A and B are shown apart, each in its own frame.
Chain A
Amino acid sequence: MMASGRSMLLTVSGAGCGAHPAAWRVGGAPRAPSLAWFRKLTLQAERAGLDAILFGSSPWGPAVAASGQAGTFELDAMPLIAALAADGEQIGLGASVPVDHAEPFNIARSFAGADRLTAGRTAWIADVREKTYRPGDFAHAEARDVSARYARALECISVVRKLWDSWEDEAIVLDKPAGLFTDPARVHRITHRGEYFSVRGPLNAPRPLQGHPVIVQSDHSREGLALAAVTADVFLATVTAPDQLAGLRDALGARPLLLATIVPLLARTQAEADTRAAVLDGMVTGPLAAALLADAGRTGEAPQLAWSLGGIPFIGTPAALAARLADLFAGGLCDGFHIAPAVLPLDLELFATDVIPELRARSLRPAVAVGRTLREHLHLPRPRSQFAA
């Protein structure tokens, strides 16, 4: 336990080349998707003792994507986190898998496998937001209005949880003398019949090591908050000012852990940090600036907009960031932070090497990771199977 009795939860974003749209021009990210790049980020996060690295979708809108200037690819995060299974032993691995158009059986099966192969380190970023997928790629599917999309998502997540529970923890008995691999009494059909899905089950995979992989959401719409209130374990807040966190907490209720997204750009001195920021600002011109403004439906200062898309920007020294995080955390408005480094890998490196020791010195982070599974890192209880006697 921490001296204060409570540790600051910390996750990091491994998406894209960093949270700033011009990050690719200064950060040294590869020009083609590369496993070595993702392994490097993951190992940095693991060595710093962060709770998880999350591979969400990029924050850019369609105009920025079409401009060809933002420097991101959108890999499928599910094979990505599985490919990172052999790297690290404690770092949690989160993958965005959009809920729209997905079949609950496929989602449950993917995560059940990945959670076993990573020894209980997966998180499902269960997004309903339209920007996490493009409706035109699923134009053959039934069109649904907003309320139907969220109702379907709610049912989908509930079916996924039932499927994870369909094998009790003790279902695999491996009794060689008796010739019994599985105890049939501990595997259950779920016989779900709902408005959107009919799923008999059981799943054809043993229960995930964590019982349920951690479910992460980040949808700030009214419907999204209502969904998160009843289905999310973790909510990533992308507010631009800390005072907006209280309203989110009210909307979300007690269930999800609330992590505030911070976009740090770090340097040893404030002047150096300001210089780095000015270089990035200078790159937000021309087509990139126009695209950012078009996506936001705004006019005005595109460089400022580029900073605020991903969360609360912080431009300064590691010590100052540690102090700022400590203050925000002490205010009790959140359970920790989701760090979206402005430029990868540099701002992750500096966070790991210079901010983490400061947080440890304040007893806000453990010196060594406490648990093995992601649920243990986050102090989330391991759910019992709803079918267990």
Chain B
Amino acid sequence: MTGRQLHLGVFIYPGGHHIAAWRHPAMQAQRITELGYYRECAQIAERGKFDMFFVGDALNAREREGRVMGQVAINNLDPVSIVSAIASVTERIGLVATLSTTYHEPFSIASKFATLDHLSGGRAGWNVVTTSDDKSALNFSRTHAMDKALRYERAAAFVDVVTGLWDSWDDGAVVGDAATGQFLDPASIHAVDHSSPFFAVAGPAMMPRPPQGWPVLVQAGGSPPGRDFAARIGEAIFTAQGELPEAQAFRSDIHARMAARGRSANSVKIMPGLSPMLGDTEAAAQRRAEEFAELVDPAVGVWMLTEMTKFRLYDHPLDQPLPTADIRASSPALNRNATTLVERAEREALTLRDAARIMVRSRVHQSFVGTPEQLAGHMSHWLEAGGCDGFNILPPLFPDDLATFVDQVVPVLQRLGVFRREYSGSTLRDHLGLPRPKGRSINTAGL
């Protein structure tokens, strides 16, 4: 009997998750807008039997005080375009793209992910997010971000519409009888007729039910309304957890919220972010970390902190403590990532320079510096201690650090018996061990 198994995602990023990755001598930075970069990274991850290839999104340019921030790389290109392009050059790995429920239409998102699920043979996942920043609002004919509670209400209605559209064709609605001329069975296709304060959508969808029934719903909310939303709809949860006890508490909390909704703990996979800085020895890993640290001006980290906390830190002395009280006072509703960082700064008495160093390395995600064996031990310990169901891997530099992980960490995880040696299924749901949702109609065949 095998024990619990790790699930692994790779979070693609332009250059790498270290903010200065693009400056690293090994990085051919011009590649990050080209197909070849994404193809190479996805194929390495698939060689490593990863569950999924994960792409984030942003809806505003990286700016500092009104001008584009020239010292950092661009955001990812459009996530749906990236994962769609990857679909044709990979065979097994899941393809997860982020799109916001705040600034899209449910009909359009349902169509995008259903299309991706069909074209990829059941490998699609949607990272369901809301957009909280005012800068993005300004690109969508609004002056301010939507209120948080409203944003989550809209997100919940949004997901209802999307899943309703996915279910609007029963499995088996395509008859395709060339002899009689009946292509579809109209009785197997149903209107959605969703009506809520946010949306009125008639449906049905314009294509068959996705191979997975529903593409996998990924969620990343950390605040209480975010956790409730994750507990309601999330099937994989991407989260930032620095320490095992808090990760255990987070996982228990999600499970409790799910139980309150009648969902079993097995129907979600919780995957904290993890940035691996590896070396053959601890000293070598440390040297690699230093090599990266030298590529970045502290001002870049200060900019990242200012962006995340919405508190202007540019004039604050680098070697003074991070002004956590002022940051807390300036914003009554710090977002989850900012709260995580501020709490850590208070706990560890971080200076602004310390906090900036943390940010440039892996933002609020845990950064592991050590050998492949140590990292594999760390990961399996978290799994066995109930801190997670897997990890979303954030390599400091693409593709090199992903290849190192695949070639040196994955074999150890396999030897430890906590990670697959081969894919056993073909869909993302198969990889994650998630059931295929039943349809909503009595006409629907299947599970």
User: Is the CB of B407 closer than 8 A to any CB of chain A?
Assistant: no
Which stretch of B136-144, B219-227, B265-273, B361-369 is in the interface? Answer: B136-144
> Number of residues in A with C-beta < 8 Å to the partner?
76
Residue from the list A33, A80, A138, A182 in contact with B107, Cβ < 8 A: A138
A25 partner residues in chain B, CB cutoff 8 A: 178, 181
Residue from the list B85, B183, B184, B297 in contact with A85, Cβ < 8 A: B85
A103 partner residues in chain B, CB cutoff 8 A: 103-104, 140-141
User: Is the CB of A119 closer than 8 A to any CB of chain B?
Assistant: yes
Task: Report the 8 A-B pairs with minimum CB-CB distance, sorted nearest first.
Answer: A113-B78, A136-B202, A68-B184, A113-B77, A82-B84, A74-B206, A139-B200, A33-B118
Nearest residue in B to A74 (C-beta to C-beta)? B206
Nearest residue in B to A110 (C-beta to C-beta)? B78
Residue from the list A33, A110, A139, A176 in contact with B207, Cβ < 8 A: A33
Q: A66-B186, A117-B38, A138-B105 are in contact. Are A34 and B77 (CB under 8 A)?
A: no
Residue of A32, A68, A119, A184 with most partner-chain B CB within 10 A: A68
A363 to B67: give the CA distance in the assembly, Å: 52
A179 to B121: give the CA distance in the assembly, Å: 42
Query: Which of A's residues lie within 8 Å of B, judged by CB?
Result: 22, 24-26, 31-35, 38-39, 66-71, 73-76, 78-80, 82-87, 101-103, 105-106, 109-110, 112-114, 116-119, 133-134, 136-140, 172, 174, 176, 179-184, 187, 189, 196-206, 283, 286, 288
A370 to B79: give the CA distance in the assembly, Å: 31
Residue of A83, A86, A176, A184 with most partner-chain B CB within 10 A: A83
Q: A78-B80, A106-B104, A181-B73 are in contact. Are A83 and B85 (CB under 8 A)?
A: yes
Further contacts, 10 of them, CB under 8 A, given A105-B59, A198-B138? A32-B211, A35-B88, A75-B207, A78-B84, A80-B84, A86-B85, A86-B89, A105-B139, A114-B81, A199-B138
Nearest residue in B to A187 (C-beta to C-beta)? B68
Q: A68-B185, A103-B103, A137-B203 are in contact. Are A182 and B70 (CB under 8 A)?
A: yes
Q: A82-B85, A200-B138, A204-B61 are in contact. Are A74 and B78 (CB under 8 A)?
A: no
Nearest residue in A to B104 (C-beta to C-beta)? A106
User: Is the CB of B82 closer than 8 A to any CB of chain A?
Assistant: yes
Nearest residue in B to A139 (C-beta to C-beta)? B200
Q: Are A35 and B181 in contact (CB under 8 A)?
A: no
Q: Are B181 and A112 in contact (CB under 8 A)?
A: no
Q: Are A76 and B108 in contact (CB under 8 A)?
A: yes
User: Is the CB of B404 closer than 8 A to any CB of chain A?
Assistant: no
Residue of B89, B104, B139, B201 with most partner-chain A CB within 10 A: B139
Tell me the number of A-to-B contacts counted with CB atoms below 8 Å. Answer: 226
B71 partner residues in chain A, CB cutoff 8 A: 179-181
Nearest residue in B to A209 (C-beta to C-beta)? B33
Q: Are A79 and B33 in contact (CB under 8 A)?
A: no
Nearest residue in A to B24 (C-beta to C-beta)? A176
Q: Are A113 and B70 in contact (CB under 8 A)?
A: no
Q: Are B22 and A35 in contact (CB under 8 A)?
A: no
Residue from the list A87, A116, A184, A283 in contact with B181, Cβ < 8 A: A283
Give the shortest distance, in Å, between B101 (CB) and chain A (any CB). 13
**Which of chain B's residues 244-263 have a Cβ closer than 8 Å to chain A?**
none
A69 to B85: give the CA distance in the assembly, Å: 32
B25 partner residues in chain A, CB cutoff 8 A: 176
Nearest residue in A to B200 (C-beta to C-beta)? A139
A73 to B210: give the CA distance in the assembly, Å: 12
User: Is the CB of B352 closer than 8 A to any CB of chain A?
Assistant: no
Query: Do most interface residues of chain B lie in helix, strand or loop, or is the interface mixed?
Result: loop
User: Is the CB of B62 closer than 8 A to any CB of chain A?
Assistant: yes
A79 to B81: give the CA distance in the assembly, Å: 6
Q: Are B78 and A112 in contact (CB under 8 A)?
A: yes
Residue of A39, A86, A87, A197 with most partner-chain B CB within 10 A: A86
Give the shortest distance, in Å, between B74 (CB) and chain A (any CB). 6
Query: Which of B's residues lie within 8 Å of A, judged by CB?
Result: 20, 22-23, 25, 29-30, 33-35, 38-39, 58-62, 66-75, 77-78, 80-82, 84-85, 87-89, 103-105, 107-108, 111-112, 114-116, 118-121, 135, 138-142, 174-176, 178, 181-186, 189, 198-203, 206-208, 211, 295-297
B38 partner residues in chain A, CB cutoff 8 A: 117
Q: A24-B178, A116-B77, A204-B61 are in contact. Are A69 and B183 (CB under 8 A)?
A: yes
A73 to B184: give the CA distance in the assembly, Å: 10
A38 to B141: give the CA distance in the assembly, Å: 37
Give the shortest distance, in Å, between B235 (CB) and chain A (any CB). 21
Give the shortest distance, in Å, between A143 (CB) and chain B (any CB). 11
Q: Are A113 and B61 in contact (CB under 8 A)?
A: no
Give the shortest distance, in Å, between A321 (CB) and chain B (any CB). 27
A-B contact pairs, 24 of them (CB 8 A): A25-B181, A31-B174, A35-B118, A67-B186, A76-B108, A76-B115, A79-B115, A79-B119, A80-B84, A82-B81, A101-B108, A102-B105, A103-B104, A103-B140, A109-B59, A114-B78, A137-B107, A140-B201, A174-B29, A176-B22, A179-B23, A181-B70, A181-B72, A183-B70
Residue from the list B67, B189, B203 in contact with A184, Cβ < 8 A: B67
Q: Are A87 and B111 in contact (CB under 8 A)?
A: no
Residue from the list B112, B120, B297 in contact with A76, Cβ < 8 A: B112
A200 to B108: give the CA distance in the assembly, Å: 23
Q: A105-B140, A106-B104 are in contact. Are A205 and B75 (CB under 8 A)?
A: yes
A25 to B176: give the CA distance in the assembly, Å: 8
Q: Are A32 and B118 in contact (CB under 8 A)?
A: yes
B74 partner residues in chain A, CB cutoff 8 A: 172, 181-182, 204-206
B198 partner residues in chain A, CB cutoff 8 A: 140
A284 to B78: give the CA distance in the assembly, Å: 42
Give the shortest distance, in Å, between A183 (CB) and chain B (any CB). 6
B67 partner residues in chain A, CB cutoff 8 A: 184, 187
Residue of B66, B77, B82 with most partner-chain A CB within 10 A: B77
A140 to B154: give the CA distance in the assembly, Å: 13
Residue from the list B23, B139, B207 in contact with A73, Cβ < 8 A: B207
A205 partner residues in chain B, CB cutoff 8 A: 74-75, 77-78
A140 to B20: give the CA distance in the assembly, Å: 44
Q: Are A117 and B111 in contact (CB under 8 A)?
A: no
Q: Are B88 and A83 in contact (CB under 8 A)?
A: yes
